[in-house]
Amino acid sequence: MNPRLECTGLTGGRGISTVFRELDLSLESGRILALVGANGAGKTTLLLTLAGVLPLADGEVRVDGEPVRSGRPRAASRAGVVLVPDDRCLFTGLTVRENLQVAARRGGPTPSDLLDVFPALRPRIGLAAESLSGGEQQMLAMARALIQQPKVLLVDELSMGLAPQIVETLLRTVRESADTNGCAVVLVEQHVDLALEFADDAIVLNRGRITLQGAASELAADRDRMEQAYFGGTLER
Ligand SMILES: Nc1ncnc2c1ncn2[C@@H]1O[C@H](COP(=O)(O)OP(=O)(O)OP(=O)(O)O)[C@@H](O)[C@H]1O
């Protein structure tokens, strides 16, 4: 069977500057991959590229074996790739219900189904997204992603500015979604310990190259190798 997400030889960046080179990734259905690395390593650029927001210079992305056209957000979306961006990109003037309604797909989960997943949003359903707390906004951003029933869920810096308890709740939801719906998740996270706790696999990116990869539990147990991969740049494949 094909992996849910398969990337081969990915090279890309911002404008004329190359940010990552010749990356290979493979992720089975239901697996969470923690993508970690120092500031500027290229994590966000890679996620934006997988989501079709930025074009590839080279390489190929496949979802369930089907190639996804590069640089086309709608093509990525149709292929089932959904991004939760670090700035959330909510429709701030629309209500919680409306934010969910615009993302809902025919025959898929309803806004009410997502409120069962995030009960804290229920009393906020008629409020504008801009009036929510940071944690509630992140829940809404996650709910808006999950209502699309992603095959591949890309999550960028979920924890930014949030209380640890809310981050744990959100990560638990991501884990459940991977387990029950079979989506493959790429999780970019500065809180490395937390990311490794919830992930199955992990990759360290250093200046756009993979410097360490393996089981999340193994990487979590080997701080020295992690640090070396973060800053030293020894290539291990
Ligand atoms: N909007 C942009 N325009 C041009 N270059 C950018 C832009 N955003 C980021 N870059 C550059 O792309 C490279 C990778 O940045 P990126 O944000 O992907 O890294 P990151 O690993 O996500 O870092 P961080 O953890 O700080 O968000 C950096 O050299 C950065 O300066």
Per-residue model confidence as pLDDT tens digits over 94-149? 999 999 999 999 999 999 999 999 999 999 999 999 999 999 999 999 999 999 99
Integer Cα distance of 28 and 195 in angstroms: 18
**Residue 161 CB less than 6 A away from ligand 1:** no
Structural domains of the chain in order of their starting residue, each with its CATH number: 29-55+69-80+150-237 (3.40.50.300), 90-148 (no CATH)
Q: Which residues of 107-130 are buried (b: 16+ CB within 10 A; e: fewer)?
A: eebebeebbebbeebeebeeebbe
The β-bridge partners of 202 are 34, 214
Average pLDDT, rounded, for the chain = 93
pLDDT at position 231 is: 82
Integer Cα distance of 155 and 89 in angstroms: 13
Per-residue model confidence as pLDDT tens digits over 155-191? 999 888 888 889 999 999 999 999 999 999 999 998 8
Per-residue model confidence as pLDDT tens digits over 187-206? 999 889 999 999 999 999 99
Distance from the CA of 13 to the center of ligand 1, in angstroms? 9
Question: Is the pLDDT confidence value at 82 over 90?
Answer: yes
Phi first, then psi: what are they for 164, rounded to 5°?
Answer: -55, -35
User: Which of 20, 39, 44, 205 for mutating ligand 1's site (highest number of atoms within 8 Å of CB)?
Assistant: 44
**Residue 173 CB less than 6 A away from ligand 1:** no
Burial status of residue 210 (CB atoms within 10 A of its CB: 0-12, 13-18, 19 or more):
buried
Instruction: Please report the ipTM that was assigned to this predicted complex.
Output: 0.95
Sheet holding 5-14, edge to edge: 17-27, 5-14, 56-63, 66-67
**Residue 50 CB less than 6 A away from ligand 1:** no
pLDDT band at 233 (very low <50, low <70, confident <90, very high): low
Residue with tokens 């999550």: 155
From the alpha carbon of 45, which atom of ligand 1 is closest? 18
Distance from the CA of 42 to the center of ligand 1, in angstroms? 6
